[in-house]
Amino acid sequence: MVLLGCSVRPGNSSLLLSSNPNFSYKVHSNSFVVSSVEIKIWNCLSCVRLNASVRQQRFVIQSVRRDRSSHLGLHGIYFRNSGKFSARVRRSVKSLVSFRERFPVIVLQFVVGVMLFMAVAVPVSKSPSWALTEENLLFLEAWRTIDRAYVDKTFNGQSWFRYRENALRNEPMNNREETYVAIRKMLGTLDDPFTRFLEPEKFKSLRSGTKGALTGVGLSIGYPTKNDSSPPGLVVISSAPGGPANRAGVLSGDIIMAIDSTSTETMDIYDAAERLQGTDGSAVELKISSGPTVRHLSLRREKVSLNPVKSRICETSGAGKDASRIGYIKLSSFNENASGAVREAIDDMRRNNVSAFVLDLRDNSGGLFPEGIKIAEIWLDKGVIVYICDSRGVRDIYDTDGSNAIAASEPLVVLVNKGTASASEILAGALKDNKRAVLLGEPTFGKGKIQSVFELSDGSGMAVTVARYETPAHTDINKVGIIPDYPLPASFPKDEDYLCGCLQDPISSCFLDRVGLFLR
């Protein structure tokens, strides 16, 4: 029961009583019975509280009168029953009078006002204003993933916490599709084309691309650089050797302008990848720009093997001791089989007495980051492989002590072109900066950011830019690429069946002798 003295007025002995904030009672100097309640007697001006636990205590408030030394005071309260309870109350009242004589009323009013504000405001602030639904929780799961993993901790110059609160209040999330829209909208504020939301089927499709095979036309695609003067669309990074697109003459640097009559100008790469894939034998129509030429192609989808490695042994020109064997390794992607396949190829060629290696990374658009690190470890006896950086600088270093190296001493040449991207650039940069290999070809694609894939609880997922990388020489290659040591002859073939001829025939237009190939 709470006694609120705010109703007391000079010459009026009535008080306002309440045991519940929703009810109040007026008492006019009458006796009443209280049963096991807490009595809180408040004076509005001095706000001193007297508490007592009472059981069947009968009392009468005898006198409430104006105290001449202040605005309104509690002069005395006399209880009919005697004993410890009454004595305790009398002592409390005497302390009240002494306390009020020492401190000005206005100070007490201020202090008590602050205390009352805190007593009311803190519980209110801690109380949730709404109950979170299952859709809200999925949105928060996506938000939390970006909060923890995204490379740019300024989140493109916005308050990430404020965005969360505003989205939960304002974005409709009444069903799963609306929640997906809210997540896409949230990721769109980052202005990062490589950070994307993937619905369950798209997420499954992305993961299948790292497993070893997929059904499509054999294209790796990406976003054109902003300074590219090519027509709008998606750029072909590479076409899988022997795949439908490769057989139709689609080359690195070509622009996909439309897929099945749908423009790719504003299409993201995951949507495009889903459209390019389909059932074995089904057709897909592509509008391709190759320089000034625009072609319309009808391609049949087929199962494209993603065996990442092809290898062969080439004999160089010369006779007797001047002749030597070179092991050629074509690495087309960094799927989960890549590092194991490279090791197997090296071991096989070593048994055939090769004395040098050519690692061909042309048109390799990348793949799994860890596989790129493992393959670098194969060739390096020691050194930094890559620096992982965020907005605050270097946050991690991948290096090797040589414990996983199996080919750290033989001469090595790496072939690159504008289709060499992502994990391929990490590998090429590590081998070049550690002076382990000579790079031949043309500047690489220039994708200097690293994405990780995160699965959400409903089977959907997100590809998130988690870092940018720098080569061991601290070169940021994003949108610039890695510059090779020397160019390749314009006629140097991509097909491994013809490459050996360039090492054997001195009169060939693409001829490179051993000295020219392994020049350090």
Strands 23-27 and 32-41: unpaired
Measure the CA–CA gap between 177 and 51, rounded to whole angstroms: 57
Distance CA 430, CA 399 (A): 10
* Active-site residue, from 330, 374, 432, 447: 447
Q: Which residues contact 420 (CB under 8 A, 6 or more apart)?
A: 361, 362, 363, 364, 428, 441, 444, 445, 482
How many angstroms separate the CA atoms of 343 and 325, rounded? 18
Phi-psi region of 82 (alpha: psi -120 to 50; beta: other; left: phi over 0): beta
Q: Does residue 374 come out as left (phi exceeding 0), alpha (psi in the -120 to 50 range) or beta?
A: alpha
Number of H helices and number of E strands within the chain? Answer: 13, 23
d(CA 337, CA 356): 23
Taking the C-alpha atoms of residue 214 and residue 304, their distance in angstroms, rounded to an integer, is 6
DSSP 325: E
447 among known catalytic residues: yes
317 is catalytic: no
What is the rounded CA–CA span in Å between residue 337 and residue 371? 8
Q: How far apart are CA 431 and CA 473, in angstroms?
A: 11
Whether 7 and 27 have beta carbons less than 8 Å apart is answered as no
Structural tokens at position 365: 């658009």
- The set of residues, in sequence order, having a beta carbon less than 8 Å from that of 264 and lying 6+ positions away, is 232, 233, 234, 256, 257, 258, 272
CA-nearest of 196, 191, 183 to 144 is 183
What is the rounded distance in angstroms from the CA atom of residue 43 to the CA atom of residue 41? 7
Q: Which residues partner with 467 through β-bridges?
A: 450
Q: How far apart are CA 432 and CA 383, in angstroms?
A: 12
Question: CA nearest 42: which of 101, 115, 102?
Answer: 115
Instruction: Give me the catalytic one of 46, 252, 333, 422.
Output: 422
Q: Which of 124, 139, 239 is nearest to 180 (CA)?
A: 139
Residue pair 477/429 in contact (Cβ under 8 Å)? The answer is yes
Active site residues: 422, 447
